[in-house]
Every structure is written in structure tokens, then in C-alpha cells.
Amino acid sequence: MQILVGDLMTRTPRCCSPDTNLAAVAELMWANDCGSLPVVAEGHVLGMITDRDVAIALGTRDVAARNLAVSEVASAPVAYCRENDDIHAALHLMGESKVRRLPVLNDHDELVGMIGINDLILAARPTDGHKQELDDEEVLDTMRRICAHAKSQLVATPAHA
């Protein structure tokens, strides 16, 4: 049985607009127990904002959260998938893009859901000698690719040059 993104995604995800301030974003994330929100205007995803984006923006600027707009912090372009994509394509995209969550779009490029690595972890099952549609090793491999550190761009120099 083929599993589609639409089978596992969260429908009607919480989102924010480019003009939403970071205080409101933090409140939305807290109230809805989520770590990222799609940034949406007229039904279309323009970017993503994460709790990490909020923390770093506020930690590196001398600005109150209510005075900083999502549009100044959000990431774009956004990796996304479609509700009728095979779940393996979503896993591959997450690993390649190093993201834990993907917005799910319909054929009109409108936001219809979110799929997160947590959805996939909960749906995966251990392989018991039979091929599973979504086995836990495949999901774990995707998490390894997401979590892998980027190669350092720093050049080591001898201490006594």
C-alpha cells in the first residue's frame, strides 16, 4: 500500500503573515506546540519561520519582539511537497533540504497542510523481515541527513606558526 503525504500530514496548520510580529509568532508557537510556521499571504506560502529564527533574531538585535516583523526574519525560498506525493519523496526532500517540516501544497500552490519528521516517526514501523511501506530505518536515515553538520569552512592553522 502506497502512503501519500496527505495520509499523514496535519491539515489546517497554523500560519502567520509577513506582517505578524515576533511576539505574536512566539505566542502562536507556544499555544499550538509547534516550532515553525509557514508565512502565508493570500493562501500562498512565502517563507517559513522557526522558533530558532525568532530566538536568533531577538538575541542579535536590540529590538522588542513586537517591533520586529516576520518578513524581516523568515526563510525563503521554501522546500515543499504536494498532498499526493509519495511519502518517500517527502523524506528525501527533508533530508536534502535539511528541514524537519514541509508545507504541503495543493495543485493551486495553496497551503493545505504540514508534514513533519515527527509525523513520519510516528507512522514508521520496524522492519520484521517483510518490506514495510515506511520503515523506521528509512526515517532514521533521513534524520541523520537532516542533523548532519555542514563541513566547516574554517581553515585550521598551526598554534605556533
For the domain with range 5-126, which CATH number is right: 3.20.20.140, 1.10.10.10, 3.10.580.10, 3.40.190.10?
3.10.580.10
**CA–CA separation, 121 and 136 (whole Å):** 7
Q: List Cβ neighbours of 21 (8 Å cut-off, separation of 6 or more).
A: 65, 66, 67, 68, 69, 70
Side chain identity, residue 153: Q
Residue 151 is predicted with a pLDDT of 63
| pTM of the full structure | 0.81
- Angstrom distance (rounded) from CA 129 to CA 44: 43
Task: Report how far Cα 67 is from the mean position of its chain's Cα atoms.
Answer: 25
Whether the predicted pLDDT of 8 surpasses 50: yes
Q: For residue range 46-101, list pLDDT tens digits in order.
A: 999 999 999 999 999 999 999 999 999 999 999 999 999 999 999 999 999 999 99
Task: Tell me if 60 sits within 8 A of 53, measured CB to CB.
Answer: no
Across 105-122, average pLDDT: 92
Distance CA 161, CA 88 (A): 50
All 3 cell numbers of residue 131?
Answer: 518490506
